[in-house]
Amino acid sequence: MKLAFSAIILCLVAAPASGGPQAPASPTDEDCLTCHADPDAKRANGTSVLVAKEKLASSVHGQAGLSCVDCHADLAKVSDFPHAERLEPAQCASCHDAAAAEYAKGVHARAISEGRQLAARCGDCHGAHDILPSKDPASRTHHLNLPSTCERCHGDPEVIRKSAIAVGDVGRLFEDSIHGKALRESGLIVAPNCATCHEAHAILPNENPASKVARGNVSATCGSCHEGVERLYAAGVHGSGFRSGNRKAPVCTDCHTAHRIQDPDVEAWRLEVLTECGSCHEESLRTYRDNYHGQVTALGFARMATCSDCHRPHDIFPASDPRSTVSKARRVETCQKCHARANANFAGYDPHADPEDRSRNPLLHSVGLMMKGLLGGVFLFFGLHTVLWFPRSWKARRQTPDRETPPESPSEKDEGQ
């Protein structure tokens, strides 16, 4: 209470009535700055009421000549100063009606309406008095700066927890991604930031079919930059499968992830993508692990053929399709990418053979059974032989007279006695 009083007294002393207590005119910026330029003026809770005059002046609104009450409209009719501490939020919508309408459709507006008060409002992304146009490299919403702005919440474990943000710490995921690095390290203005895929204001959840990140729209969203890849994907078995209603068919983000998208040539990603393919193609991953390619990659070394090296990453076709790189017609050429002197016999090797699968590989199945029988037989026979021999051998050792004789040299230890 003491603080509140001192603040009020300060303001009273510092504000020799400009116009008279009953003046009907709106307060001017000068009026506001009487208190808000004073570094000592404080609210009841001790926080400063200072408004950085220079920042306001150089902000997009200051440059446009807006006055305080243009945004703080509820103060336009107030003549009793100092005014109440709690004001209405600044009315951005009074000018930015289009952006506000878009914002109202988005996840942030919905979260606020559901009571999750931490959700971003205009000022959380754009700033308050120091708002700069997005074109300005210093702006919070400049293309290269936007990720750090979003990460203030979407990279803050506390906010994520309190607001129950299902996707978690996307800030960290995106920072390590090829897109994040392109923006942050390479300063690539053409690299996508959050808003490129999610929109700036109308941020729709991915379960909304109108969202740019809804499953049905993902390939088009990615394709807005990766046009060539989208074309290949659309032709391939995954794209055409998805279009024809197979909901299991993957879209870009199923293999590449949504935020932590990696350079496909990075070793860690070459290994990781195997399990991505394998999450649907379980059989193929299992049989891949049976041969040298799959064993070496399982050991953590990426200089080895992975799924996409043989099957292509995007324009994947079933082996029966002549366009497929593993079709009969093109298999040799595919093997030759690594095995320069591969011929038709070489390419006749079945890299996904399964000795367990009698119908797919009858010969291998029989050989496998034979080997299993051989191993089982030998180990059973000699296992039993050993088990029977051991106690008898133990007895024989104890009965052998020369074991009791002292060792021929004093340093020699008589083991086992």
The answer to whether the CB of 14 falls within 8 A of the CB of 34 is yes
Stretch that binds other proteins, among 40-48, 189-197, 199-207, 364-372 (CB under 8 A): 364-372
Contacts of 259 by beta carbon, 8 Å cutoff, 6+ apart: 167, 170, 173, 174, 177
Six-digit token string for 112:
């606020």
Stretch that binds other proteins, among 147-155, 253-261, 309-317, 339-347 (CB under 8 A): 339-347
- What is the rounded (10 degree) CA torsion for 180, 181, 183, 188? -130
CB of 309 to other proteins, least distance (A): 16
List the interface residues with other proteins, window 303-322 (CB under 8 A): 303
Taking the least distance from each CB to other proteins, the nearer of 54 and 408 is: 408
CB of 252 to other proteins, least distance (A): 28
**Which whole-number Å values give the CA distances from 314 to 50, 68, 232, 255, 307, in the listed order?**
56, 55, 6, 10, 11
CB of 351 to other proteins, least distance (A): 9
In the list 100, 111, 296, 357, the residue contacting other proteins (rule: CB under 8 A) is: 296
Taking the least distance from each CB to other proteins, the nearer of 5 and 349 is: 349
CB of 147 to other proteins, least distance (A): 35
Helix/strand number for the chain, H first, E second? 24, 0
301 contributes a contact to other proteins by CB under 8 A: yes
Q: Which residues pair with 48 in a beta bridge?
A: 42
- 29-36 and 2-14 are packed helices; what angle lies between their axes, rounded to 10 degrees? 130
Six-digit token string for 49:
């009421």
Q: Which residue has the tokens 């991915």?
A: 206
Contacts of 406 by beta carbon, 8 Å cutoff, 6+ apart: 414
CB of 294 to other proteins, least distance (A): 7
The answer to whether the CB of 202 falls within 8 A of the CB of 106 is yes
Q: Where are the alpha helices (DSSP H) in 127-185?
A: 146-154, 157-162, 170-175, 178-184
Q: Which residue has the tokens 């989208």?
A: 230
CB of 378 to other proteins, least distance (A): 6
List the interface residues with other proteins, window 48-87 (CB under 8 A): none
In the list 18, 186, 246, 393, the residue contacting other proteins (rule: CB under 8 A) is: 393
373 contributes a contact to other proteins by CB under 8 A: no
162 contributes a contact to other proteins by CB under 8 A: no
Distance of alpha carbon 15 from alpha carbon 38, whole angstroms = 11
CB of 265 to other proteins, least distance (A): 18
Chain positions contacting other proteins, by CB under 8 A: 289-292, 294-296, 298-301, 303, 339-343, 345-350, 353, 355, 361, 363-364, 367-368, 371-372, 374-375, 378-379, 382-383, 385-386, 388-394, 396-397, 400, 402-403, 405, 407-409, 412, 415-416
